[in-house]
């Protein structure tokens, strides 16, 4: 093998070194290899890494009773598990294949900081007659006391690793709490990493971000936006050629584009496996407003979040293929209007909107079709009729907010349920502990345990229901508040169609006839245009 960055390496060489290590009792020389690892990529550690290679090469070759096999190495890899340690795995494979009799390594912590990994490997090699010598602890694994010492030392090393991990996490969270923010990111379209590690605007990429948000508000789906960006040859945040809908949606939901930063969206579940999970309240989150220069205005960003929520409701009501998709309803059959192209191949080409199920039944719907311009005209008319009702609508909302949308009782119930689940969980743990340490009647134990499980399950189901209701009411309240804010901002009569105003004000439009088109606004108000 040859050295290749952080990949596994295998080295052979010359040297001269002496030690007090016991020689093998075998008549032939013991085929001996060494394992060396450093856990970071810093220059200082790299120097240590090179020194270890020379050290072990010379050490093994300096022994008359040992035959030098090579030095197996890993660079820049944590010692808490062996999943990505290619040099380590290659060495074990060779040993199991009968190519190595003895492995020399610096210490238990250099070998593996995971007790399970250490013991599993030691026992696996021991079965094949392969011995490991840990210099620092002076442990020989084929010795009768070897495995006990390995267990003790591995456990200590594992706790050391845990302590380091926890200290690093604590330090990071302390910086967050103190307001010292560094936003972690790899590829982030629209921003570069500044000298302080924070976000600095990339003007060329920012234009692409603004385009994505604009396309979405004009009715395009994340899939449609991804297809268009791919067709235009615009590289992804990861510098790939093909966009996907998930990437687009993630960008649309990312609060950093409005200048804010939500920190600790995820956290490390297990310091050994480095497995991460989404933070659903298990650890504190920190929301920093105005952390960096915004690409998207907060009002535009919030409009996008509302539209994302709307498109996700019901039976695909808001399909998002066009600004008017999922917004116009047939008053006769209840179906949604869809776009149709007339005269698609000649100069009379025209896009019209009609009931999607107009010709599906024996009795066809008699509701009319509309052009884009006609729909826009109905909207302008409805908004202008709504404006004189501004004060009444705002006053009515204050009443709704204190009654229908109030969540005080639900929040109290949520807190009580969470506390109950904690108590039940502790009771279950206590029950398990007692059963493990005291001779209990197993039938009675199982009965009690099952009862606790059932109680916990019911509380969990109710908690989910309450949480969903609170969320729905909060979303409804925020939607109406944003609606009123946009309505209040209208100083005079509306004369031109504004896509942003359409998205922020309109819930849906119901068509009964050409003369009876009703616009339902997000506060529930219905205006006949």
End-to-end, the C-alpha distance of the chain in Å comes to 78
Q: What is the CATH code for 199-311?
A: 3.90.1750.20
| pLDDT value of residue 341 | 83
Contacts of 337 (CB under 8 A, 6+ apart): 324, 328, 329, 330, 353, 354, 355, 356, 370, 511
Each residue's pLDDT tens digit, 402-447: 787 888 999 999 999 989 988 998 888 888 888 777 777 888 888 9
Each residue's pLDDT tens digit, 461-472: 999 899 888 877
The packing angle between helices 442-489 and 390-402, to 10°, is: 160
The packing angle between helices 222-231 and 245-253, to 10°, is: 110
Each residue's pLDDT tens digit, 152-193: 655 555 555 555 444 444 444 444 445 445 555 556 888 888
| pLDDT value of residue 272 | 39
| pLDDT value of residue 349 | 77
Q: 469 versus 26: which is more confidently predicted? A: 469
Judge contact between 34 and 110, C-beta under 8 A: no
Across the range 497-502, mean pLDDT stands at 82
Distances (CA, A) of 215 to 76, 226, 228, 229, 237: 43, 10, 10, 11, 18
> Mapping DSSP to helix (H, G, I), strand (E, B) and coil, where does residue 58 land?
helix
Each residue's pLDDT tens digit, 318-360: 445 577 888 899 999 888 898 888 866 777 778 899 998 887 7
Average pLDDT, the chain: 76
Q: Which two tokens stand for residue 272?
A: 């050994």
Each residue's pLDDT tens digit, 462-498: 998 998 888 778 777 877 887 888 888 887 888 988 8
Domain boundaries, the chain: 9-163, 199-311, 328-528
**Which strand (E) or helix (H) includes residue 466?**
helix 442-489
Domain 9-163 CATH assignment equals 3.40.47.10: no
| pLDDT value of residue 54 | 85
Judge contact between 71 and 104, C-beta under 8 A: no
Partners of 511 in beta bridges: 330, 517
Instruction: State the DSSP code for 387.
Output: G
| pLDDT value of residue 43 | 46
Instruction: State the DSSP code for 336.
Output: B
Q: CA–CA separation, 444 vs 447, rounded Å?
A: 5
Asked which of 14-23, 54-63, 335-344, 384-393 is least confident by mean pLDDT, the reply is 14-23
| pLDDT value of residue 276 | 52
């Amino acid at each position: 093998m040859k050295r290749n960055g952080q990949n596994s390496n295998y080295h052979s060489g010359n040297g001269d070194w002496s030690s007090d290590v016991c020689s093998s009792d075998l008549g032939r020389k013991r085929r001996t290899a060494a394992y060396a690892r450093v856990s970071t990529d810093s220059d200082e550690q790299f120097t240590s890494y090179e020194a270890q290679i020379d050290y072990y090469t010379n050490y093994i070759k300096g022994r008359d009773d040992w035959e030098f096999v090579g030095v197996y190495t890993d660079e820049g890899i944590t010692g808490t598990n062996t999943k990505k340690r290619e040099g380590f795995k290659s060495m074990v494979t060779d040993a199991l294949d009968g190519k190595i009799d003895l492995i020399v390594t610096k210490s238990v912590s250099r070998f593996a900081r995971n007790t399970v990994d250490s013991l599993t490997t030691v026992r696996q090699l021991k079965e094949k007659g392969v011995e490991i010598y840990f210099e620092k602890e002076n442990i020989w694994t084929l010795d009768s006391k070897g495995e006990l010492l390995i267990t003790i030392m591995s456990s200590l090393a594992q706790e050391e690793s845990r302590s380091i991990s926890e200290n690093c996490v604590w330090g990071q969270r302390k910086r967050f709490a103190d307001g010292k923010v560094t936003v972690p990111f790899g590829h982030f379209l629209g921003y570069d990493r500044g000298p302080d590690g924070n976000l600095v605007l990339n003007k060329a990429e920012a234009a692409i971000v603004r385009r994505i948000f604009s396309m979405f508000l004009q009715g395009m789906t994340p899939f449609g936006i991804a297809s268009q960006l791919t067709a235009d040859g615009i590289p992804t945040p990861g510098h790939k050629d093909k966009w996907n809908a998930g990437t687009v949606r993630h960008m649309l939901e990312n609060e950093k584009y409005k200048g804010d930063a939500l920190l600790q969206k995820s956290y490390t579940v297990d310091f050994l496996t480095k497995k991460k999970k989404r933070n659903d309240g298990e650890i504190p989150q920190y929301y920093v407003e105005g952390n960096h220069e915004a690409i998207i205005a907060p009002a535009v960003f919030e409009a996008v979040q509302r539209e994302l929520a709307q498109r996700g409701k019901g039976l695909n009501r808001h399909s998002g293929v066009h600004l008017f998709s999922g917004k116009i309803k047939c008053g006769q059959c209840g179906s949604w209007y869809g776009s149709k192209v007339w005269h698609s191949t000649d100069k009379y080409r025209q896009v019209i909107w009609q009931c999607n199920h107009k010709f599906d039944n024996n009795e066809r719907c008699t509701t009319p079709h509309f052009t884009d311009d006609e729909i826009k005209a109905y909207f302008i008319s409805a908004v202008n009729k709504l404006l004189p009702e501004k004060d009444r609508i705002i006053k009515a909302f204050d009443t709704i907010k204190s009654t229908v949308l109030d969540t005080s009782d639900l929040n109290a119930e949520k807190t009580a349920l969470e506390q109950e689940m904690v108590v039940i969980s502790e009771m279950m743990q206590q029950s398990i502990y007692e059963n493990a340490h005291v001779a209990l009647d197993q039938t009675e134990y199982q009965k009690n345990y099952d009862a606790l499980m059932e109680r916990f399950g019911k509380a969990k189901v109710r908690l989910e229901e309450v949480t969903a209701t609170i969320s729905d009411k909060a979303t409804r309240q925020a939607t109406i508040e944003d609606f009123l804010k946009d309505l209040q901002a209208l100083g005079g009569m509306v004369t031109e169609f504004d896509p942003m105003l359409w998205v922020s004000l309109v819930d849906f439009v119901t068509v009964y006839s050409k003369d009876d088109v009703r616009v339902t606004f997000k506060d529930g108000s219905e205006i006949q245009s």
